[in-house]
Structure 1
Amino acid sequence: MSRQIRAGLLSAGLLFSLGCGAASACNAPPPAVIDIDANSYYTDSHHSIIDPARKARNEAATKPVNDYLEVVARAASNYQAKQDRGEAQCALAWLASWADHKAMLGKMTTEQSFYTRKWTLAGLALSYARVKPAATPAQQESIEGWFKALADGTIEHSEAHKGNRNNHYYWEGLAVAAAGAVTHEERHLAWGRKVFDHAMGQVADDGSLPLEMARASRALSYHSFSAAPLVMLASVLNVQSPKLDKLVKFTLDGTADPAIIQKMNGFAQEHVGTDVPGWAVIHARHAGKPVAPANGKRNWNARMGGDLNLPNPLEHPAAN
């Protein structure tokens, strides 16, 4: 067994033991993270070359938030799959604890800090949708009030930010719309629709995203990273778009043959594997197509609510 695989298994086991699971009682929630002090780690103008030391610092700074999200997403997905009320109670206790302490509503020191917060909000809102039926009125009030505050903060930062409206904007749209869908806040849903419409306006005729093509050797990776929130956003909003279909096809074609993108931007693409990305099952469900996870693998993304093979209650699968 390789060192990397062994480390991954140990990490997964630690997360399981720290949080919720059928094999152990739910532990107390970790201290709420109020301020996030993350940092950028790319060294070139294309944001394609990583400085390992800076990357390690960022991972250490964001680990408490990422670990928290992982545990909540795992418990919420387990509850939806197995209807084990203990899993729901664990996820809700963790959510309510951070909500009561106004987690992630403090100082965001850098753009990377805001990135971490929006990714986390997206995952938490989608996870909460899985367990909301089991929440008490007090838990709903606390958690949903927290989500609204985080969504408002995301909008405020996004509207003030002067940077490119690239993949980060799409994740902001998903975070705000997911929060809006689970709290029934129409203005947040409307803002998410605005982001989606803007994103569709950026999709070229060939299905590519110019701002992501500019990421040099990571263009393929960032097309996939962009498609992920957009396919979920489309399903949450229950909208269909030929432009989104083009983006999905372009990204899947590039995954199968990265030379397609290399010929377009002149950079050999970072290896991402040839398996169909997990987010593709969301697009397939919403489009009414058969869903078959690649090679039988579990499709997991905590930022998208955990188990992608398990339809999220906020999704709108097409009628078969």
Structure 2
Amino acid sequence: MDLTMAAPKAPALAHKPSQDATERRPHGAIWAQQGPALLLALVLGGQALPALANNFKLPYEVAAMRAMPVDPSVRPRPCPDLVNPPFQLQHGSRYKRGDGSISQVDPQLAAAEIEATRPVRQFNRIIADMASISLKAPQFATAAMECVVRHLDHWASGRAYLGENSNQGEYEKKWGSITYALAYIESRQAATPAQRTRIEAWLSRMGHDVHAFYSRPAIWGLNSRNNNHAYWAALSCAAVGMASNDQELFHWGMSRFVAALDDIDPSGHLPLELRRGPRALEYHAFALGPLLLLAAIAKANAVTVPAPGLAALHRLADSVRAGMLDPDVFTRLTGQKQTIVKPRPAEWAWAELALHIWPDSTLDRQIAKDRPYFHIWLGGDLSIRYANRPR
């Protein structure tokens, strides 16, 4: 691949310019102008990525999972009622303004966010639940896949998220699109040609919205659309690219993933997430999830990730693990007591992805008692997808 290739272009969208702080990282301007193209050339090493949607691979074998013996403990579940799709989301952040660490929750703002995103949370749960049922209960796979497709088609037809969103609304679009793309890939065989056309067009539009929102030079600074948000954006574009056969989006997601690995310092921490003060451990774990799934997707699709980058990702996973076992590690780093004092089982969900990449018998035993692990924005039931154990 030619190192001088132009960076991928996304359709112009009517987003308002960011009003966030614009302090840049040293490489910010270079990344905005040349980064995606240069990194993509280095990552692919001259390889051509898959040309057809069916050639993009998930990190697990869907057909093989559905050929496994039936789990009699799983009961049939009727397809839930359709949820009205929100054309636009205008809610704001739950965090108090003026707090440099962006770590203090305002109860009124949090309540407003919960109310504004109620249909989104309901819809996301339906999609993740039904997609997971289609994998762990082969006897109900057809009905579950049809349910996933029916709900996705309803939101695609209603043009969910495609209006003028607030920054928070754009974040919901980014996170949700990952859930929808992964579930659609798993359930696509149940869709009619007309449903495929509508769903894939909708996913592609959301993916290009995310691409445009995170490709602006002004965002590569210390603001709320950098750090972990950029990592989730990379995963959104990679997943949507796989689901809609959009190589431009997949390429951008992979190149942004490789760039993200440079954010990890020699001690295995993310400097911008350390600035979250009492939420530093929480946001390190939040940032780790999408990076691990991107690494798994890269491996499944023969995308070469530089060894130093993978080593950095391993350091990050180790630092999060250390913090989960002893949150005071992050208290000492930040000088502030962490919001995660005793991690809940769900806060170890990232470990299923880490074990998929780096087998570790100690970590495997450590998390085994609390399986299955579920993370809506990473696709649903991570244990059934990544633990690679017979049912």
Distance 1:246 1:24, change over 3 A: closer
Point out the more displaced range, 160-169 or 68-77.
160-169
Instruction: Give 1:255 shift.
Output: 0.8
Partner of 1:243: 312
Partner of 1:143: 199
C-alpha contact (below 8 Å) 1:281/1:308 kept by paired residues: yes
CA distance in structure 2 between the aligned counterparts of 1:198 and 1:52, rounded to whole angstroms: 35
CA distance in structure 1 between the aligned counterparts of 2:245 and 2:311, rounded to whole angstroms: 27
1:310 counterpart SS class? helix
CA distance in structure 1 between the aligned counterparts of 2:183 and 2:357, rounded to whole angstroms: 19
Instruction: Give 1:112 shift.
Output: 1.1
C-alpha contact (below 8 Å) 1:77/1:130 kept by paired residues: no
C-alpha contact (below 8 Å) 2:86/2:160 kept by paired residues: yes
1:188 counterpart SS class? helix
Partner of 1:269: 338
Mapping of residues 1-320 of structure 1, within 5 Å: 23-43=76-96, 44-83=99-138, 84=140, 85-108=142-165, 110-160=166-216, 162=219, 163-164=221-222, 165-238=226-299, 241-274=310-343, 275=345, 277-289=348-360, 291=364, 293-311=367-385
TM-score normalised over the length of structure 2: 0.71
Instruction: Give 1:30 shift.
Output: 1.7
C-alpha contact (below 8 Å) 1:181/1:236 kept by paired residues: no
CA distance in structure 2 between the aligned counterparts of 1:148 and 1:169, rounded to whole angstroms: 18
Distance 1:24 1:193, change over 3 A: closer
**What CA deviation, in whole Å up to 9, does each residue of 1:39-97 have, x standing for no partner?**
11212210111011110100110111111011011011101111211111111100011
Instruction: Give 1:182 shift.
Output: 2.2
CA distance in structure 2 between the aligned counterparts of 1:288 and 1:128, rounded to whole angstroms: 28
2:78 counterpart SS class? coil
1:211 counterpart SS class? helix
Instruction: Give 1:243 shift.
Output: 0.9
CA distance in structure 1 between the aligned counterparts of 2:192 and 2:179, rounded to whole angstroms: 21
CA distance in structure 1 between the aligned counterparts of 2:75 and 2:348, rounded to whole angstroms: 29
Instruction: Give 1:229 shift.
Output: 0.8
C-alpha contact (below 8 Å) 2:372/2:384 kept by paired residues: no
Counterpart amino acid of 2:82? P
1:309 counterpart SS class? helix
CA distance in structure 2 between the aligned counterparts of 1:118 and 1:295, rounded to whole angstroms: 32
Counting matched residue pairs gives 293
Instruction: Give 1:24 shift.
Output: 4.9
CA distance in structure 2 between the aligned counterparts of 1:210 and 1:284, rounded to whole angstroms: 25
Instruction: Give 1:126 shift.
Output: 1.6
Instruction: Give 1:199 shift.
Output: 1.1
C-alpha contact (below 8 Å) 1:217/1:270 kept by paired residues: yes
1:311 counterpart SS class? helix
Partner of 1:13: none
CA distance in structure 2 between the aligned counterparts of 1:270 and 1:24, rounded to whole angstroms: 36
Partner of 1:3: none
CA distance in structure 2 between the aligned counterparts of 1:226 and 1:172, rounded to whole angstroms: 11
Tell which has more relative contact order, 1 or 2 (C-alpha 8 A, sep 6+). 2
C-alpha contact (below 8 Å) 1:235/1:286 kept by paired residues: yes
**Structure of higher CA gyration radius:** 2
C-alpha contact (below 8 Å) 2:292/2:350 kept by paired residues: yes
Instruction: Give 1:234 shift.
Output: 1.1
Quick check: which one's helix share is greater?
Answer: 1
Instruction: Report sequence identity in percent.
Output: 28
Instruction: Give 1:170 shift.
Output: 0.6
Instruction: Give 1:227 shift.
Output: 0.2
C-alpha contact (below 8 Å) 1:177/1:191 kept by paired residues: yes
Distance 1:51 1:282, change over 3 A: same
* Aligned-residue CA RMSD (Å): 2.0
CA distance in structure 1 between the aligned counterparts of 2:271 and 2:325, rounded to whole angstroms: 20
CA distance in structure 2 between the aligned counterparts of 1:115 and 1:178, rounded to whole angstroms: 16
1:49 counterpart SS class? coil
Instruction: Give 1:297 shift.
Output: 3.1
CA distance in structure 2 between the aligned counterparts of 1:148 and 1:301, rounded to whole angstroms: 23
**What CA deviation, in whole Å up to 9, does each residue of 1:168-225 have, x standing for no partner?**
1111111111111222321111111122112101100000000000000000000000
Partner of 1:5: none
CA distance in structure 2 between the aligned counterparts of 1:30 and 1:63, rounded to whole angstroms: 10
Instruction: Give 1:137 shift.
Output: 2.5
Point out the more displaced range, 283-292 or 178-187.
283-292
Point out the more displaced range, 120-129 or 149-158.
120-129
Unaligned runs of 5+ in 2: 1-73
